[in-house]
Amino acid sequence: MSGLFITATDTDVGKTVITGAIAATFKARGLHVGVMKPIASGAVADGFGKLVAEDATFLMGAAGIGESERDLVNPLCLSPALTPAVAAVVSGVEVEIPAILKAYQVLAKSYDPILVEGVGGITSPLWQDYLLADLMAELALPVIVVTRPNLGTINHTVLTVEYARRRGLHVAGIIINGWNEGEVSILERSNEEYITHLTGVPILGKFPYSRAISEGEIQSVELAQLAEKHLQMDEIISIAKGR
């Protein structure tokens, strides 16, 4: 079983965009890629009253996965825009970790590799004392950390990587999201240098901000083209395949 776990230094860093871009590229290269968003909060009801997570919809579109598998891709969908453990309590729902692991196993029988996107940062509580890092440890996939280019990112990235290592997780790479090559200054360049120096983890790409992505107007093919241009996709595939 092969795949990647994509986490981030915080919420709203761009995990979904990066996971979708990698998924779209895997698909374009002929890999039978699967995607998973184990838990999503901040979901909205569709026309039939079913809670639907936009992140899961984006990932499914990028990987070419149909609606029939939504409940496997996103086994727990919560309405409150809160950390999952709190959103579940507010919703009167119990987070059943075994059910999430079962959904992953079912997906893994049909897809290879599997890209799993986390929620919030690595210590986000999923249920009671069970953190995102606990789920990551159970899945035992190589980890890619998505981070920002701006002020504060050195501290957030180093702490995330060090905590992951302390938990026995293999951090295989870092991707900087929201990079604008035409406007970078000594701030962004020095952040990149210090992140590499202090973590010893390779930066696997610097992904640009895209208005089309933020407005939901980008197609899977275009997303893959951006990833091929800005991410080290050969290396990312090797990591996912355990080479």
Q: What pairs with residue 177 in β-bridges?
A: 207
Give 122's DSSP letter: T
Q: Please give the Cα distance from 72 to 56 (Å, whole number).
A: 10
How many other C-beta atoms can be found within 10 angstroms of the C-beta atom of residue 89?
16
Q: Where are the alpha helices (DSSP H) in 70-146?
A: 70-73, 84-91, 97-110, 132-139
Instruction: Please choose, from the candidates 32, 57, 90, the residue with its C-alpha nearest in 3D space to the C-alpha of residue 216.
Output: 57
How many other C-beta atoms can be found within 10 angstroms of the C-beta atom of residue 174?
24
**Residue whose token pair is 């980008």:** 218
Q: Active-site residue among 15, 27, 37, 206?
A: 37
| Residue 140 CB contacts under 8 Å (≥ 6 apart), including other chains | none
Instruction: Please choose, from the candidates 174, 163, 238, the residue with its C-alpha nearest in 3D space to the C-alpha of residue 201.
Output: 174
**Residue whose token pair is 């050195």:** 154
Tokens of 160: 């995330």
Q: Residue 82: how many CA atoms within 13 Å on its side-chain side?
A: 11
Pairing outcome for strands 44-45 and 51-52: antiparallel
37 flagged as catalytic: yes
Q: Which residues are catalytic, by number?
A: 37
